[in-house]
Every structure is written in C-alpha cells, then in structure tokens.
C-alpha cells in the first residue's frame, strides 16, 4: 500500500523527498498564492455587500477605482471567489496530491508550467474588463448581458489550462502502473484523477457556450445569441463545478483528516465507490438550476431532479465514512461512549479543527441543498437570499474553510517554515464558523421573506420592515468573518516571511481500517464508468439541447450597467 510508504519516513528522508518534488511544490505554492490573493480581493466585497444591505454604502469612496458600484463589486466577489480562488487552489492541491500519492513527479514539468501559465494569462485577460467595469455580468455571465470579449476569452483560457493537468495525471498513472502492475491505485491519486476527469467532462458545456455562442457574439461576428441555450450549457458545467470544488475537499477529509484525528480512514472501498458515483452522477443533473426557466420541459426537469437525489447518496456515504473515521481517531486517542469520543479529538490542532468545523456547517448546507433540489419546493427559495445563505455554507465554508485548514499544514510544509501562530489559526477557524453561521442563518431567513438575491437592497425604493429587522445580523456575521479573514492573512504572511525555518513534514496519508483489497478491482478501471457517465449525459441532455439548437433565436446583446 502506498500509504504505508510515506508514514514513518524520517525528517532527512522527507527532505530528500521534497527535493525530488521541488517543481511540483513550486507549482502548488504559486497556484495557492494566486488563489488566496483572489480570495482576499473577492472576499472584501462580501463585507461591502453586507454593509450596503444596512445602508452603509462604501462604494462611493472607492468609486474613483471601481466605477460600477455594488454590481461591479458583486461580479468581482463571485468571479474571484468561486471561479478563480477555487480553481487555482484545486489545480495546485491536486498537483501536490497526485505526485505525492503516486510517489512520482509530474510526467511533464513543461506541461505543468504551461498549465499554470495558460490559467494565469487567462485570469489577467479576464481581470482587465472586470476591473474596468466592462464585464459587470456577474459570475454566471447570462446573455444577453454582453461583456467585453476579453472577459469570455480569459475565462475560457483558465478552463482550458485546467484540462492540461488531467493530461499530466494520465501520463503519471501510466508510468505508475508500468512500475506497479499488480497494485491498486493509491486512494488519494485515484480521487484526484476522478476529480479532474469529472471536471474535464463537465466543462464541455461551458466551453461550447463560450466558443460557439458568447465569444463570436461578443466579437460582433453574429447578431445575437440564444439565452436559454446559453443557460443550459452554462449549468451543464455550473452544477458539476460544485463537485469540482467539493471533491478536493473530500480528498483532504478522507486522506488527511483521519490521520490528523489520530486514527484511520474507515473504508477505502466505500470512498472509491462514492467517487465513482460522483463521476457518473455529477453532470446529468444540471437542469435543477433551471426549474424556474421557461423553454425547458417539466419532464426533463423532473428527470434531473430524480438524478439529483441520486447524487445525494454518495454524499451521504462520504458523511458516514468521514464521521466513522473521526470516531476511529477519537477512540484511538482514548475516547469513549456514543459521542463523548468527540472531546478526545485534537481540537488544539488548527488544521483539523478548521476542517471539522467546515464539515459541521456543511451538514446544514447539505440539508438546505435537499430543499433547493426539491423541484417545486425550489419555487419558495429560488433566487432569494436563501440561496446565497446556502452556498456560503457549502462553497463559502465547507470548501473555503477546509482549504484554509489545509494551508495550515501545507504552507509550512511547502515553504519549510513553521506556522507563525497555531493559536491565531484556531481563533480564525472558530470565528469563521461562528460568523458564517450567523450570516448564513439570517440570509436563509431573509430568503424565506422573499428578499431577492443579487440585489443592492440598501438602494431599493422601499425595504420591507420584516427584512430591516433581520438585516443587521447579516452585517454582524460579515464583520466576524472579516476579522477571521484578517487573522488568516496575517498568520499566513507572517508564516511565509517570518516563520521559524524547519523541515515541516507533510501530514502522512491516512491508512484505512478496510483497505482497497476489500473492493473490486473494476473500480480502478475508468472505462466502464466513463461509458456510463457519457450515456447518462446523452440521455439527460441530448433531447433538450438538440431542440434548443434547432429553435435557436438571435437575441441582441445589451450593456445595461
């Protein structure tokens, strides 16, 4: 088992290993750096939004820099947080996980640098119109709102850049298989490759939207574009993208957190099965974002709803497996009872604590997600601030707080400098948890009172008194999160610049109570699963897409901001 290889290495051996992976570490570090710079800028607008809700307008003072006010800020918040931060972090993280788990460097380092180069070039190209208020179309860029072509071209480059990592992974897997013909793929690498495979498949949607609809249209080559077709292609990618964010988090929850908890992963086979199910079920369900759209039949919406409930199943498997692993750790540390073992977990360890707190809020996010997915119940909440409350629990916490937790060990390991203050990191994790809990709870409540999302509430002609009573709590949560973010960035900057030099070992990959030998080998063979995945996509999407293409209308673009 590859996991046994890593655990128990001496510091000297660790240093030598790190030397072997110098390029991979540099690439991972650079990706993380871009990711967290993006989050710093994007996150700041979150606070401005929450204050604007309460009549405190900080957009006027910054108008000389950003002319577009609330909505330009919201575009930056969405694009930087969930398109740039997530994508760069994930590419860096999966580069690290794949090479360390297989124990070999990138198959092509030149391709690794090209990946980073193309993504960064794309980011810079897209950033220009965003900052100049020429792409205030929010992160969903629904036409006929028409942005500067550079925005679409830049984002497309970011996506195309990510595809290159999969090529590298596949080549690495070949090399590894040649050297280990009888062995099972180590779980972390298996998961990293499944994640990227799922992502490449699902990005065909947004790639088609960009290349065939938005880029030619924004360049003026065609007179208009079809908004429903564009939305359908967008959500073809837009739902599975949430698994692109989550699966890398699960990689940490499955392979590192059990080790940090002092125990073992409960079940390797169950983990493999859940990832294969994500690969199959993530994409053919995107229309659950279009329940309220005209131009799409109720029947296909219902089919997508049914499959959405299907993907709930691997999520529950993950929940069970991760909690069982935590229990294993708690008991290994002397914990007893049905639940008292929880107190035996290493709560003083910030990386562990951040990720477990992320899991707790994610459980609430998952429950809310079930409501959103529920076809006609969705009518109550669709496009209200309930939805914003929901995804701050999922991507805003389960993903973001876990990524922060990962950096608490990964950045010291990559840079060879100890975390500047573990105490500060602990406070940071708890403040994010509390702040987000408050923020999200009241955003959900406001949504039930029909408060629309993506709306400059503070500038409305009338604000409902019921909303006014709850809005201050949104700002309270936001300010607590702001404090948390400052603590995070302060700690990280001090770690990188002034942390004590030390060869910090990586957290070893967790071993499993029930290992891969208990699962069928066919799980490691991607072909049958890919065939099933493609078949389901064709069944669930082809009839609607073919009809939409055949009915295509050319609706002219508008710049209405």
Q: What is the pattern of x (binds other proteins, CB under 8 A) and - over residues 100-139?
A: --------------------------------------x-
Q: Where in 83-142 is the site for ligand HEM (CB under 6 A)?
A: 85, 138-139
Q: What's the rounded Cα separation, in Å, for the pair 356 and 404? A: 12
Among 27, 32, 74, 279, binds other proteins (CB under 8 A): 74
Nearer to ligand HEM, 324 or 393 (CB): 393
Q: How far is CA 64 from CA 124, 133, 147, 192, in A?
A: 21, 12, 21, 43
Helix (H) or strand (E) holding 265: strand 265-267
Would residue 289 show up in a list of annotated catalytic residues for this protein? no
Would residue 70 show up in a list of annotated catalytic residues for this protein? no
Q: Which stretch binds other proteins (CB under 8 A): 108-116, 248-256, 301-309, 476-484?
A: 301-309
Nearer to other proteins, 74 or 172 (CB): 74
- Residue 455 binds ligand HEM (CB under 6 A): yes
Nearer to ligand HEM, 485 or 510 (CB): 485
- Give least dist CB 71 to ligand HEM, A: 8
Among 395, 414, 425, 446, binds ligand HEM (CB under 6 A): 395
Would residue 392 show up in a list of annotated catalytic residues for this protein? yes
Active-site pick, 100, 239, 417, 511: 239
Q: How far is CA 352 from CA 347, 409, 413, 415, 481, in A?
A: 7, 10, 16, 20, 19
Residues in the interface with ligand HEM (CB under 6 A) total 25
Helix (H) or strand (E) holding 266: strand 265-267
Task: Note whether 68 and 133 are within 8 A (CB).
Answer: yes
- Give least dist CB 274 to Cu ion, A: 18
Q: What is the pattern of x (binds Cu ion, CB under 5 A) and - over residues 221-260?
A: ------------------x---------------------
- Residue 72 binds ligand HEM (CB under 6 A): no
Would residue 418 show up in a list of annotated catalytic residues for this protein? no
- Residue 77 binds ligand HEM (CB under 6 A): yes
Q: Where in 477-536 is the site for other proteins (CB under 8 A)?
A: 513-514
**Residue partners of 170: CB distance under 8 A and separation at least 6:** 193
Among 249, 388, 429, 504, binds ligand HEM (CB under 6 A): 388
Q: What is the pattern of x (binds other proteins, CB under 8 A) and - over residues 43-72?
A: --------------------------x-x-
- Give least dist CB 480 to ligand HEM, A: 9
- Give least dist CB 130 to other proteins, A: 15
SS3 513: strand
CA atoms within 13 A on the CB side of 12: 0
- Residue 392 binds Cu ion (CB under 5 A): no
Q: What's the rounded Cα separation, in Å, for the pair 207 and 215? A: 10
- Residue 421 binds other proteins (CB under 8 A): no
Partner whose binding site includes residue 49, from other proteins, Cu ion, ligand HEM, none (CB under 5 to 8 Å by kind): ligand HEM
Q: Which stretch binds ligand HEM (CB under 6 A): 250-258, 355-363, 478-486, 498-506?
A: 478-486
Q: Which residues pair with 427 in a beta bridge?
A: none
Q: Give the number of other Cβ atoms within 10 Å of residue 4's Cβ.
A: 10
Would residue 441 show up in a list of annotated catalytic residues for this protein? no
Task: Note whether 415 and 463 are within 8 A (CB).
Answer: no
Angle between helices 526-550 and 298-332 (to 10 degrees): 150
- Cα-to-chain-centroid distance, residue 228: 25
Partner whose binding site includes residue 139, from Cu ion, other proteins, ligand HEM, none (CB under 5 to 8 Å by kind): ligand HEM
Angle between helices 350-373 and 298-332 (to 10 degrees): 150
Q: What's the rounded Cα separation, in Å, for the pair 484 and 353? A: 14
Among 20, 222, 379, 486, binds other proteins (CB under 8 A): 379
Q: Give the number of other Cβ atoms within 10 Å of residue 67's Cβ.
A: 14
Q: What's the rounded Cα separation, in Å, for the pair 347 and 368? A: 27
Helix (H) or strand (E) holding 267: strand 265-267
Partner whose binding site includes residue 239, from ligand HEM, Cu ion, other proteins, none (CB under 5 to 8 Å by kind): Cu ion
Q: What's the rounded Cα separation, in Å, for the pair 163 and 196? A: 8
- Give least dist CB 143 to other proteins, A: 8
342's tokens: 């929880």
209's tokens: 């939207």
Q: How far is CA 155 from CA 35, 218, 282, in A?
A: 15, 14, 22
Count of all residues that appear for the chain in the document: 561
Among 396, 405, 447, 458, binds ligand HEM (CB under 6 A): 396
Nearer to other proteins, 298 or 502 (CB): 298
List of residues contacting ligand HEM (CB under 6 A)? 43, 46-47, 49-50, 74, 77-78, 81-82, 85, 138-139, 388, 392, 395-396, 400, 453-455, 478, 481-482, 485
Q: Give catalytic residues, as residue numbers.
A: 239, 243, 390-392, 453-454
Residues making contact with Cu ion (CB under 5 A): 239
């Amino acid at each position: 088992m590859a996991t046994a290889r890593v655990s128990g290495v001496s510091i000297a051996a660790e240093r030598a290993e790190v030397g072997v992976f110098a390029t991979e570490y540099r690439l991972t570090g650079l990706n993380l750096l871009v990711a967290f710079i993006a989050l710093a800028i994007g996150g700041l607008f979150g606070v401005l939004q929450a204050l604007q809700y309460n009549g405190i307008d900080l957009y006027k003072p910054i108008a000389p820099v950003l002319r577009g006010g609330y909505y330009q800020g919201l575009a930056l918040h969405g694009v930087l947080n969930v398109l740039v931060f997530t994508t760069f972090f994930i590419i860096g993280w999966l580069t690290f996980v794949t090479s360390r788990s297989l124990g070999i460097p990138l198959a092509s380092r030149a391709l690794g640098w090209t990946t980073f180069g193309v993504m960064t070039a794309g980011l810079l190209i897209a950033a220009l119109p965003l900052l100049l208020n020429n792409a205030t179309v929010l992160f969903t860029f629904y036409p006929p709102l028409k942005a500067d072509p550079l925005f679409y071209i830049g984002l497309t480059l970011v996506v195309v850049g990510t595809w290159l990592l999969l090529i590298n992974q596949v080549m690495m897997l070949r090399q590894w298989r040649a050297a280990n013909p009888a062995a099972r793929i180590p779980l972390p690498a298996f998961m990293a490759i499944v994640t990227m495979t799922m992502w490449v498949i699902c990005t065909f949607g947004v790639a088609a939207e960009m290349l065939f609809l938005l880029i030619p249209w924004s360049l003026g080559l065609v007179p208009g574009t079809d908004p429903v077709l564009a939305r359908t292609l967008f959500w073809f990618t837009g739902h599975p993208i949430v698994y692109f964010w989550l699966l890398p988090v699960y990689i940490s929850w499955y392979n590192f957190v059990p080790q940090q908890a002092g125990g073992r992963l409960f079940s390797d086979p169950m983990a493999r099965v859940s990832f294969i199910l994500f690969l199959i079920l993530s994409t053919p369900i995107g229309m659950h974002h279009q329940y309220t759209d005209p131009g799409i039949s109720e029947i296909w919406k219902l089919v997508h709803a049914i499959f959405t409930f299907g993907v709930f199943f691997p999520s529950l498997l993950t929940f069970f497996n991760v909690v069982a692993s935590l229990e294993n750790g708690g008991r290994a540390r002397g914990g007893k009872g049905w639940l008292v073992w929880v107190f035996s977990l290493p709560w003083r360890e910030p990386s562990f604590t951040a990720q477990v707190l992320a899991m707790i809020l994610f459980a609430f996010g998952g429950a809310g997600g079930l409501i959103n997915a529920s076809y006609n119940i969705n009518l109550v909440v669709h496009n209200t601030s309930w939805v914003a409350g929901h995804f701050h629990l999922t991507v805003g916490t389960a993903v973001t707080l876990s990524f922060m937790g990962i950096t608490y060990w990964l950045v010291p390991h990559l840079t060879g400098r100890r975390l500047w203050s573990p105490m500060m990191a602990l406070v940071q994790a708890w403040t994010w948890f509390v702040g987000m809990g408050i923020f999200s709870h009241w955003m959900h409540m406001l949504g039930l009172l029909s408060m629309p999302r993506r709306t400059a509430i503070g500038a409305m002609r009338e604000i409902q008194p019921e909303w006014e009573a709850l809005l201050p709590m949104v700002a309270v949560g936001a300010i607590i999160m702001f404090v948390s973010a400052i603590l995070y960035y302060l700690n990280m900057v001090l770690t990188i610049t002034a942390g004590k030099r030390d060869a910090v070992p990586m957290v070893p990959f967790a071993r499993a109570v029930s290992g891969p030998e208990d699962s069928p080998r066919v799980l490691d063979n991607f072909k049958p699963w890919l065939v099933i995945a493609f078949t389901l996509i064709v069944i669930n999407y082809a009839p609607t897409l073919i009809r939409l293409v055949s009915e295509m209308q050319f609706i002219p673009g508008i710049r209405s901001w």
